Amino acid sequence: MSLRITGATALRVLRQLRHDPRTLALIVFVPCMLITLLKYVFLDSPVFDRIGGPLVGLFPLTSMFVVTSITMLRERTTGTLERLMSMPLSKLDLLLGYACAFALVAAAQAGLVSALAFGVLGLDVQGAVWAVICLAVANALLGMSLGLFVSAFARTEFQAVQFLPAIILPQILLCGLLAPRDEMAQLLYWISWAMPVTYAYGALDLVTKGIYDAELAAYVLVVCAFIAGLLVLGAGTLRRRTA
Amino acid sequence: MSAPIAVRDLRVRRGGTLVLDDFSIDIGGGRVTGLLGPNGAGKTTLIRCIVGVQIVEAGTVTVLGEPAGSPRLRARVGYVTQAPSVYLDLSARENLEYFARVLDAPDRRISEVIETVDLVRDERRLVGRLSGGQRARVSLATALLGEPDVLVLDEPTVGLDPVLRRELWDLFRELAAAGRTVLVSSHVMDEAVRCDDLVLLRDGAIVAAGTPDELRAQSGSDDLEQAFLRLGERRA
């Protein structure tokens, strides 16, 4: 592993995004629009304050999932991945380079969305805003590692985009954001324990309620474990040699 | 001393079909070797084996005394794929800046290779907005960055204008004269005359190999294209 190559990779990914200002604008604008919509759909209702905070922390997960799976798929289909694999670059350099770049983008995204939600729209949470932003960055990395892994199973960008409703949406439905998990059917409840977004939401839910306890630490640890595990699985899909 | 590239008893399957079987070849250093043959002859497969990105069923490929694809070779072997493998959403210079960091090549090499492939005027444009030939040149420039001892090029001159093609062949000759090993695949016969050694492949087997003069003599034809046709027929 080399700091030089990891840094260069992060810079390269950021430069690619910079040349695509529309994507960057969408990454920031779409969550801002959704959180504003949420505010006015649930005007005079406690729902906005209950799910608004966790949502701010979950947006980066979906954006980075899509951006990573498409970027990685392009690396595979245009041959740049094969070129890199024939160069003195370790898989860790590539994965960490991606992680640094997307963590930075996610921090900016979560910062701006938070400024709007907490500053302008009056979203009220018990916990600290900086803690929500930290969790948002962790969730961006979770989305990135998920996207990296599933990109190996897509042949085209059409397929890669479909992985969002296929893989992220069920997790959002089951994570407890829309309905409490302990009121779900037993089977769904047990399935939700196996899904990383459940823990990502669990941590956000506690932080926005101002609860900083062992349960929160456990959730954060599980999210980190999922990130590490998915990155290892993702590294397994980066092949030096192919048939 | 063994040849810079030594292939022994190679057997490779791609997509279920046997492409190379019991294939052996030596490729010499300080020379430009041309790999010629029709589409599907196995040129790309052989090249992929030499750079170490191909899964091999049997046999050995040794490059500079080490098994092909081994980590220590990654900085010493330059590889240009048939389709330009560079980032379309970066400028030519940004592509080269990134790959230079990965290869630990000095910054001055970036400007040097841009000049070599004649992209000075377009270095700040996004590769996605460049023509096919210009993209191929960015890809080639990337392979030249690290000043590799072994340069393997899969049809690098397809779609390039004749002037640039001649310049690139001059460059290949210069690199070979400096002691490097240059392996170039092509299906254009007029490029064959510029090689020191020629290998004619068909259906995964060597139909003929030797210097252009030797092949002319073997076939009894002064025209290389004729020579290849005759040698091919004889084999069939």
- pLDDT tens column, B24-76: 999 999 999 999 988 889 999 999 999 999 999 999 999 999 999 999 999 89
Assessment of whether the complete model's pTM goes beyond 0.80:
yes
Q: How confident is the model at residue B236 (pLDDT cuts 50, 70, 90)?
A: low
Q: Which residue in chain A is spatially nearest to B86 when comparing CA positions?
A: A80
**Rounded Cα–Cα distance for residues A133 and A108 (Å):** 9
Q: Which residue in chain B is spatially nearest to A78 when comparing CA positions?
A: B85
Interface of B with A in 59-98 (CB under 8 A): 69, 71, 74-75, 77, 79, 81, 83-91, 94, 97-98
What pLDDT is stored for residue B195 in this prediction?
94
CA distance A4 to chain B (A): 7
Please report how the helices B132-144 and B162-177 are oriented relative to each other, as an axis angle in degrees rounded to 10: 10
**Rounded Cα–Cα distance for residues B119 and B133 (Å):** 11
**Residue A51 · residue A172 · CB < 8 Å:** no
Contact between A11 and B98 using a beta-carbon 8 Å cutoff: yes
Which residues of chain A are modeled with pLDDT < 70?
none
Q: What is the pLDDT of residues B9-24, one digit of tens each?
A: 999 998 889 999 999 9
For residue A224 the two structure tokens come to 């980190």
Residue type, A31: P
Mutation target for B interface from A94, A241, A242: give the one with most B CBs within 10 A.
A241
* Nearest-by-Cβ selection for A80 from B75, B85, B103: B85
What's the whole-number average pLDDT of chain B? Answer: 91
- 3-state DSSP percent of chain B in helix, strand and coil, to 5: 40, 25, 35
Q: Where are chain A's structural domains?
A: 3-158+168-236
Give the C-alpha distances (Å, rounded to integers) separating B142 from B105, B111, B153, B158: 11, 11, 12, 17
A108: Cβ contacts below 8 Å, ≥ 6 apart: A28
Q: CA B37, B76, B49: angle at the middle one, nearest 5?
A: 35
Q: Is the pLDDT of residue B219 over 90?
A: no
What pLDDT is stored for residue B40 in this prediction?
86
Dihedrals phi, psi of B76, to nearest 5 degrees: -105, -10
Residue type, B120: V
Going by DSSP bridges, is the β-strand pair B181-186/B32-36 parallel, antiparallel, or unpaired?
parallel
> In 3D, which of A196, A195, A221, A237 has the Cα closest to residue A95?
A237
Dihedrals phi, psi of B152, to nearest 5 degrees: -120, 120
> In 3D, which of A225, A87, A95, A218 has the Cα closest to residue A148?
A95
- Map tokens 């259906």 to a residue: B203
